[in-house]
Amino acid sequence: MNNPAIRTGLILVAAVVAIGLYASVFTVGQMQQALVLQLGRVRDVLNPVGQNKPGLYFKVPFTDSVVLFDKRVLDLDLPVQPLLTADRQNLEVDAFARYRIVDPLKFYQSVGTIALANQRLASFTNSALRNVLARTSRDAIVRTERSELMNTIQEDVNRQAKGLGIEIVDLRMTRVDLPSKNSQAVYDRMTSERKKEATDIRANGDQAATLIRARADRDVVVILAEANQKQEELRGQGDADKNRILAEAFGQDADFFAFYRSMQAYEQALKGQDTRLVVSPNSDFFRYFNDPQGRRPQGARNSAAGPSASGGGTSSDATTGAAR
């Protein structure tokens, strides 16, 4: 063992064994599936979809090779493409697809790589979109039949992708829109229609407001006329009742009635701030001033001399007496 040549040989053997073990061992992850190729021929498929056997595996060093594929759902974002619908409407459609590799052997034999698979799937999807949407109207695509159309497109793409060992999990149109120039024309037309509708509504509102104001003005005139008529009727009835009551009072006590009328005359004649009366002291107007019983003085006239109000205190009456 102390011979350097033997020690070197053992080290080389150990290195060769270690390299051989390293070259013959590989692992397959939980989210991976693998193909074992022997000189380019597929020898085994490990942990495919539907099985769950990840772990450590062995291969023949230097003759076997391992190709790993993803078991997870993969994304495919499709570019925006213009389409022509059954009613001759141009649309721009943006879609995406979700798929997974269900048969790694077919996938390896048909496309081999994810990049090439994405190209083939994009071609299948675009073709299916054009074929299906070209037989459908714009309203059906945008609103009424969108889910049914997507299911039809997904089934069509799945039939073609099955030969690639791929299964389409989901396929959706994310955006369906008019081209920019068409969108602007539609927007302008919608704006014009909304303005026209607003003008019609505003005109109808003005007409209704005019009718309501005219009706209200007419009702005001009618109500005021009826109120004035009622007022005059009530005033006339009140005056009649007043005259009747006064006549009845005069008939019951003429002296009290004369006293009451004189008091009213005094109140009306003397209520001003600067009123002057020029009357005879012996006139009937001052009969209750001279005598509380209202007896006329000797030589007094029977007719009451009405007061004359003036700012300067003058009158054409021959007898002058000032009362302030």
Q: Which residues pair with 93 in a beta bridge?
A: 81, 176
Predicted pLDDT at 27 = 84
| Among 47-51, 249-253, 273-277, the range of highest mean pLDDT | 47-51
Q: What is the CA radius of gyration of the chain?
A: 59
pLDDT at position 97 over 80: yes
Predicted pLDDT at 298 = 58
Predicted pLDDT at 166 = 92
Q: Which DSSP string corresponds to 42-90?
A: EEEEES-TT----EEEE--TTTEEEEEEE-S-EEEEPPPEEEE-TTS-E
Compute the distance between CA of residue 282 and CA of residue 303 in angstroms, rounded to an integer: 11
pLDDT in tens, 40-63: 788 888 888 877 788 888 888 878
Predicted pLDDT at 286 = 67
pLDDT at position 105 over 60: yes
Mean confidence (pLDDT) of the chain? 80
Compute the distance between CA of residue 273 and CA of residue 275 in angstroms, rounded to an integer: 6
pLDDT in tens, 123-179: 999 999 989 888 888 888 888 888 888 899 999 999 999 999 999 999 988 888 777
Compute the CA torsion angle 153, 156, 158, 163 (nearest 10 deg). -150
Q: Are 49 and 100 in contact (CB under 8 A)?
A: yes
pLDDT at position 211 over 70: yes
Q: Are 55 and 27 in contact (CB under 8 A)?
A: yes
Which pair of structure tokens corresponds to residue 13?
Answer: 């053997």
DSSP H or E segment with residue 74: strand 74-77
pTM, entire model: 0.52
Compute the distance between CA of residue 75 and CA of residue 168 in angstroms, rounded to an integer: 10
Which pair of structure tokens corresponds to residue 134?
Answer: 């070209």
pLDDT in tens, 175-201: 887 777 666 777 788 888 999 999 999
Predicted pLDDT at 54 = 82
Core vs surface per residue 78-104: b (16+ CB within 10 A) or e: beeeebebeeebebbbebebebbbbbb
Compute the distance between CA of residue 77 and CA of residue 95 in angstroms, rounded to an integer: 7
Strands 276-278 vs 322-323: parallel, antiparallel or unpaired: antiparallel
